[in-house]
Amino acid sequence: MIYSRITGTGSYLPEKVLTNRDLEKIVETSDEWIRERTGIAQRHVVADDESTCDLAEQAARRAMEMAGRRPEDIDLIIVGTTTPDQVFPSTACLLQQRLGVHNGSPAFDVQAVCTGFVYALGVADQFIRAGSARCALVVGAETISRILDWNDRGTCVLFGDGAGAVVLEASDKPGVLSTHLHADGRYENLLSVPRGVGRGYKDMIAGEAYLQMKGNEVFKWAVNTLGRIVEETLEKHGLEQSQVDWLIPHQANIRIIQATARKLKLPMEKVVVTVENHGNTSAASVPMALDEAVRDGRIQPGQLVLMEAFGGGFTWGSALVYF
C-alpha cells in the first residue's frame, strides 16, 4: 500500500513586523485590548515590493532543503492561497518557474481561505496514494494584509502575512493517515471578501474589496466545528484524544484555540501555538506552526500530529499524520 509522508517542512515570514503599539497609531485600539481578545502581540506584513509567491518560494526552498530534494524530484505543486499574485497563471505555476521545476508536472492553486493548506495536503495525499505523484510540494502562502480595511479595528488587528510548506513523498510506511475536508457555502456572508473580477472590474474596486467578518458568529461556529472535525478524525481511527501527541490548530485567535482544546480535553501543553507572534496568516498558519514545532524539536519521529483549520466559505478540515 502506498502512503504519503511529510519529509520536510519550511516557513517564511516577511521582515516587517507590525506590533500592537504600531496599530494604536493607525486605528482606535490598544495593545491590552488586542492581547486580551486575541492573544496577538505582533504580526508580519509584506513590503510594497513583496508578493505571495516571494513568501512561498522561501518556505518551499527550506522544506526542500530539509527533505534533501532538488527541483527535478518534485512532480506536483499545490499552493493554498486566497491572495494569489495574479488572476492567472496560478501562484503554483509561478512558484514552479521560480524553483526551476521544468518536468511538466502539474501545478495548481487551492482556494479554501484558512483551510487552504489542509485542503491542499488532502489533495496531494490522494495524488500520491493513487500513484499519480511521488514527491509533492504543498504550500500555504498569504498576503492577507493586502485585503484588509485598515480602518476596521475588528479585522485589521487579527491578520498577518507568511508562508509554510511541506514536502510530501510516497512511502510504504504510514504518514498521512487521513484527511477530512468539508464546506458549507450557506454562511458566506459571515466571513468574506464580497468583491471579485467575476462580478466586473468596476464592482471589484467599488470600495468593498476587503475582508469582512462577523466576529461573534464566526467564533461560535469555529469552536463547535473544530471540535467536531477532531472527533470525526479520531473516531475514524478508533483513537482517544490522549493518544494525540500534538494538536496544530489554525492560528486565528487564542480564545478559539483554548476553547477547542478544552472541548477536546487536551492540555495546552500539547497544542502548538504561534498566534502571539504571527497573527492569523490564513492558509499559512498551520504549516508555519508545524515547521516551528518540527525545527525546535517538539515534534519527534513516531509522534501523532493532528492538524485542523476553519475558514471562510465556511470551509474546515483536518489531517492526522504520523511523523
Q: Is 44 a catalytic residue?
A: no
The residue type of 119 is Y
Q: Is 156 a catalytic residue?
A: no
d(CA 190, CA 28): 23
- From the list 224, 213, 83, 217, the residue with the least C-alpha distance to 140 is 83
Q: Is 250 a catalytic residue?
A: yes
**Residues 53, 250, 253, 278: which is the catalytic one?**
250
∠ CA 121-7-100 to the nearest 5 degrees? 80
Taking only the tens of pLDDT, the chain with its 323 residues reads 899 999 999 999 999 999 999 999 999 999 999 999 999 999 999 999 999 999 999 999 999 999 999 999 999 999 999 999 999 999 999 999 999 999 999 999 999 999 999 999 999 999 999 999 999 999 999 999 999 999 999 999 999 999 999 999 999 999 999 999 999 999 999 999 988 888 776 655 555 689 999 989 998 899 889 989 999 999 999 999 999 999 999 999 999 999 889 888 889 999 999 999 999 999 999 999 999 999 999 999 999 999 999 999 999 999 999 99
Strands 17-19 and 42-44, bridge-based pairing:
antiparallel
How many residues make up the chain in this entry? 323
**Residues 114, 180, 253, 278: which is the catalytic one?**
114
CA 126 to the chain's CA centroid: 19
Helix (H, G, I), strand (E, B) or coil at 321: strand
∠ CA 61-89-163 to the nearest 5 degrees? 35
All domains of the chain in start order, with CATH: 3-172 (3.40.47.10), 178-322 (3.40.47.10)
